[in-house]
Chain A
Amino acid sequence: MITLNFDLEFVLKLVPIMLKYSTVTLRLSILAIIIGVTLAFIIALVVYAKVPVLCRLFKIYISFFRGTPLMAQLFCFYFGVLPLMKDVVLKISSFQAALIILSLASSAYMAESLRAAISSIHKGQMEAAQSIGMTYIQAMYRIILPQAIKVAIPTLFSSFINIVKDTSLVFAIGVKEMMATAQLEGASGYRYLEAYVCVLFVYWGITSILGYVQKHLEIKLGKSVGESN
């Protein structure tokens, strides 16, 4: 017979520990978002402008990172590639390795969202900007991108939320973050349910904040950008 045996006291004891390790999750997420978005912008602009050679390379890059599992990328990089290069580069911690892979993988997804958003802006906007004498870069930066970003916000935030959730995989290469802690604490008293429920709620909390930011950003940009034709 199943009895509901949920130790609330244990959960309350876990909360401060989880929150402590959530800083690792947050740090990893925020850095991966910043690096990932930056890369994504560069990739999207290069692919959109069809820059020779680079465009080709980035398309392969996107295809690779979107087409392979994150866990396999992490393992291959941390246990496969890094040991090969240990004499060549500085020693990379598991946190740094996780950050590199998360940034690269997420940039592939975000580059595609951004490229699609840029393509969705009517080509007349670029023509009008160029017709008054702006250079391609000025037109892109001042006219096209502000409109494209508004279009891209929902999909970009989906990617941000995915990054936060994907950080739960990095305990597999030894980063001590929330998942690792939950496993440890859960195992200590066979209180897995409590430990993982606690983890779920902390993740939910973090991603809810992102959802909230997204909503407000959409309202704010909606006002300043106006409805596009």
Chain B
Amino acid sequence: MIKLKNIHKKFGKNEVIKGIDLEIKQGEVISVIGPSGTGKSTLLRCINCLEFADDGQIEVDDLSINLNKITKHEKLLLRRNTAMVFQGFYLFNNKTVLNNITEGLIVVKKMKKAEAEIKALKILEQVGLTDKKDEYPSSLSGGQQQRVAIGRALALEPKILLFDEPTSALDPELVNEVLVLIKDLANNHNTMLIVTHEINFARNVSDRVCFMDKGVIVEQGPAKEIIDNPKNERTKQFLNNIRYREDGQ
């Protein structure tokens, strides 16, 4: 179980996250939706310690970390218990597809090379890219790169998978293969926190949806309830805007 308590983050004078509380149960899939610039990505990056929150607390199972006086060791612990899938994929360009996945297993999990490769091959099968194992990222399509990136995160068996707009950088026709994979992971009860602009996907895949605006969670609840019948005015407005765009009206 992951618990976020009162997370705050400022960039200079600009307060991006203004006190976020969120509890994510094991196996739960939560989508975070909301307008751009409301701190959704920053929230994920704070959980993964790519940004350092100014205040707040994160609990991952027995591990409880105070973010305002986090130590180097705690940062590493937090990163090793969480894994991030980026909008821009960020596969290691100097490593083959297989080695992108074994890298973390060997360096971070201290697995033997042979053992790591067996595990990586299993993961590649799961993301459907076994035949690409010896290719370099540059020769893969965006969708394939993102599937490898998901595999890289998955291989480390994190307590939670964090997705930062995983399909936003993809060509429209490549979006689906990534969404299908994420849906698979959801069905397999991986704990996931997904920042996305794919509202229908969020509705179908997640157990819970959080609507974020201006650094706070404005409304949250069961996915279908929030997206079909939002109570909050701001949520209604946001969802309406998106539907207008999708309907092409």
Contact = CB atoms under 8 A, between A and B. Distances in A.
A128 B92 contact: yes
Given A127-B86, A142-B103, A132 B94 contact: no
B174 to A, nearest CB: 15
Nearest to B87: A124
B79 interface: yes
A23 interface: no
Contacts of A229: 93, 137-138
Interface in B146-161: 149, 152-153, 156
Given A134-B107, A226-B137, A127 B50 contact: yes
A68 interface: no
Contacts of B57: none
A228 B108 CA distance: 24
B136 interface: yes
Contact of A143 (B49, B84, B92): B92
A67 B153 CA distance: 47
Interface string B63-98: 000000000000010011011101010111111000
Contacts of A134: 104, 107-108
Interface residues of A, number: 24
A226 B139 contact: yes
A227 interface: yes
A38 interface: no
How big is the B interface, by class? 20 to 34
Contacts, number: 78
B48 interface: yes
B167 to A, nearest CB: 17
A217 to B, nearest CB: 15
Contact of B93 (A130, A132, A226): A226
A96 interface: no
Interface string B212-230: 0000000000000000000
A133 B94 contact: no
A72 interface: no
A50 to B, nearest CB: 16
A150 B93 CA distance: 12
Contacts of A150: 94
Q: Is the interface of A mostly helix, strand, loop or mixed?
A: helix
B83 A226 contact: no
Nearest to B78: A133
B94 A130 contact: no
Nearest to B137: A226
A138 interface: yes
Interface string B38-50: 0000000000111
Given A130-B50, A226-B136, A125 B92 contact: yes
Nearest to B109: A133
A149 to B, nearest CB: 10
A135 B107 CA distance: 10
Interface string B109-131: 00000000000000000000000
Interface string A116-132: 00000010110111111
B94 A226 contact: yes
Given A127-B50, A134-B108, A142-B107, A147 B94 contact: yes
Interface in A169-213: none
B139 A132 contact: no
B86 A130 contact: no
A142 B94 CA distance: 9
A168 to B, nearest CB: 37
A138 B152 CA distance: 17
B138 A129 contact: no
B152 A132 contact: yes
Given A132-B83, A132-B156, A225 B104 contact: no
Contacts of A129: 92
Contact of B79 (A130, A146, A225, A226): A130
Contacts of A93: none
Contact of B156 (A130, A133, A146, A147): A133
B93 A131 contact: no
A224 interface: yes
Interface of B: 48-50, 76, 79-80, 82-84, 86, 88, 90-95, 103-104, 107-108, 136-139, 149, 152-153, 156
Given A122-B88, A228-B93, 4 more contacts: A128-B86, A128-B149, A143-B103, A226-B136
